Amino acid sequence: MEANYPKYVLYGLLIVGSWLLSCLLHFQVFHLSLFPYPSYLLSRRVVLPLALDARFLPPPPDVAGDDDGGIVRRRSSSPAKAAAEASCDGRYVYVLEVPRRFQMLTECVEGPKVFDDPYHVCVVMSNSGLGPVIPPAAAGNATVDGDIIPNTGWYNTDQYALEVIFHNRMRRYECLTGDMAAATAVYVAFYPALELNRHKCGSSATERNEPPREFLRWLTSQPSWAALGGRDHFMVAARTTWMFRRGGAGDSLGCGNGFLSRPESGNMTVLTYESNIWERRDFAVPYPSYFHPSSAREVSAWQATARAARRPWLFAFAGARRANGTLAIRDHIIDECTASPPGRCGMLDCSHGLEGSITCRSPRRLVALFASARFCLQPPGDSFMRRSSIDTVLAGCIPVFFHEASTFKKQYQWHERDADADNDNATVDRRRYSVVIDPDDVVEGRVRIEEVLRRFSDDEVAAMREEVIRMIPRFVYKDPRVRFEGDMRDAFDITFDEIMARMRRIKNGEILGWKLDGDDDVVAKDS
């Protein structure tokens, strides 16, 4: 035994070395699968979004996947956890993850080359949908780039990113279940807007409509659909309702698809950026803006910044003309702003091709513009609602609308009202926070925008601005990657509470119609 001792030592060292090498290689493969992008992007603080399939990457710390692709919270025997689970009665959600063929961000996991393109969807949807971090303003550029934006909590968020942000918030929801029978609602983790973005305008109607048809065929074949025909299902479609209600080959615009026009999707509750206020068939929620706080303290600090901002301009506008004068109100706004005396109107003219587009997509320039004005003009663009309207609220600027379908009262009824001040839906004296001007009066020369806005006294402007600043928490989306510090209901919280209230009524046997004047119409109740 003693004579063979060196041989056994050598064998032992070889076994240990092989094991260490295997562990090292396994760690490298696992690390690359989680972070498949170049090291230079890490210095830019770009973080890969969670994969669409919850099983593709590890779930949040206290979350596990079930055999059907749903997500379920792990049970705990601790008294605190047991009490929390008891509070989930009537609030359980089953997350229906979709098969790989319907996933939109798989290339973000499979290869690093996509991150070489700053406009690639993987970069745009990084940081769980928030987008790239807005870097600190260059020294000495405060008046140009808008040094008003803090160095933390702000991201260059794409206006169509809500599907990814919402999904990541749902993955951390405290009342997830893998038991479909116990769930009050089913969240469908499909990204209709990202799917639509794959098809350029002008592509054939078949090319644009076949993918949503295939997805709906799969969805309606799922066990979760059978119980109520999808009426307990909800999802996010991060565009306006009009983009998903375009018909077949006769669609002259060559954009959009008929996803929301199909009878299957009509059974679901679908969240869009803009609804048809004349025939509500979906529910409008705010666009995501650039501020994604991780604490109530951050929000209070920003509100103080917006409140103290110096506002030398009476009104401001960021936007472009439309070809052939198709939106005359925009032409009149730009003309009046250009002709105004110096210091009266601030403007970012986005009409000048690529240069104008880049300028008007700069968060620093936009926020600096809106935070320097008392009123911010929001005429319709490609649709009635503009992401710019949310940026206006974020900057504490009083929005000026030119159509009733553009107003928060018509579109964002869940978020426009202050639930704390509107107990039991009692009639309350709503403070004025916006202005509506008839566009025909402007276009036909009966009024000038400047004259209308100058009629408001300093005290009235201050009161309206304060109401806008108070609305900021209800129009921002928290950082979905962290546990929020403090007590604050954001746009997601408000939306989700309203959805769950609707789902509980459906589970109670009520057959709901579509949203009218802020409430659901009860069509009938099952016997």
pTM: 0.82
Q: Which residues of 183-215 are buried (b: 16+ CB within 10 A; e: fewer)?
A: bbbbbbbbbbbbbbbebeeeeebeebbebbeeb
Q: pLDDT at residue 152 above 70?
A: yes
Rounded to whole angstroms, the Cα distance separating 225 from 375 reads 47
Q: pLDDT at residue 376 above 50?
A: yes
> Average pLDDT for residues 433-460, to the nearest whole number?
95
| φ, ψ (nearest 5 deg) of residue 79 | -60, -40
Residues with Cβ within 8 Å of residue 266, at least 6 apart in sequence: 260, 281
The confidence score (pLDDT) of residue 13 equals 55
DSSP for 178-214, please give it.
S-GGG-SEEEE---HHHHHTTS-TTS-HHHHHHHHHH
The confidence score (pLDDT) of residue 143 equals 41
Q: pLDDT at residue 56 above 80?
A: no
Q: pLDDT at residue 230 above 80?
A: yes
Give the residue with greater pLDDT, 261 vs 137: 261
Q: pLDDT at residue 524 above 50?
A: no
CA angle 466, 360, 246 (to 5 degrees): 95
Map residue 472 onto helix, strand or coil: helix
Q: How many CA atoms are closer than 13 Å to the CA of 361, on its beta-carbon side?
A: 13
| CATH number of this structure's domain 308-473 | 3.40.50
Residues with Cβ within 8 Å of residue 330, at least 6 apart in sequence: 319, 320, 321, 322, 379, 381
Q: pLDDT at residue 11 above 90?
A: no
Q: For the chain, what percent of residues have pLDDT higher than 70?
A: 73
Which of 214-228, 316-330, 375-389 shows the lowest per-residue confidence on average (mean pLDDT)?
Answer: 316-330
| φ, ψ (nearest 5 deg) of residue 165 | -60, -45
Highest mean pLDDT: which range of 196-200, 249-253, 385-389? 385-389
Q: pLDDT at residue 47 above 60?
A: no
User: Would you place residue 144 in the very low, low, confident or very high pLDDT band (cuts 50, 70, 90)?
Assistant: very low
Question: Where on the phi/psi map is residue 443: left (φ > 0), alpha (ψ -120 to 50), or beta?
Answer: alpha
Highest mean pLDDT: which range of 251-260, 456-465, 503-512? 456-465
What does the domain layout of the chain look like in residue ranges? 102-285+490-508, 308-473
> Average pLDDT for residues 303-316, to the nearest whole number?
96
> Average pLDDT for residues 293-305, to the nearest whole number?
97
Which of 174-178, 324-328, 420-424, 521-525 shows the lowest per-residue confidence on average (mean pLDDT)?
Answer: 521-525
User: Would you place residue 194 in the very low, low, confident or very high pLDDT band (cuts 50, 70, 90)?
Assistant: very high
CB 497 within 8 A of CB 474: no
Average pLDDT across the chain, whole number? 80
Which of 328-337, 347-356, 492-501 shows the lowest per-residue confidence on average (mean pLDDT)?
Answer: 347-356
User: Would you place residue 498 in the very low, low, confident or very high pLDDT band (cuts 50, 70, 90)?
Assistant: very high
pLDDT in tens, 100-113: 999 999 888 755 67
User: Would you place residue 79 in the very low, low, confident or very high pLDDT band (cuts 50, 70, 90)?
Assistant: low
Rounded to whole angstroms, the Cα distance separating 131 from 46 reads 8
| φ, ψ (nearest 5 deg) of residue 281 | -130, 15
Look at residues 96, 80, 43 and name the one whose alpha carbon lies nearest to residue 233: 96
In 337-488, beta strands by DSSP E: 345-349, 373-378, 398-401, 435-436
pLDDT in tens, 404-422: 999 999 999 999 987 665 5
Rounded to whole angstroms, the Cα distance separating 373 from 377 reads 10
User: Would you place residue 311 in the very low, low, confident or very high pLDDT band (cuts 50, 70, 90)?
Assistant: very high
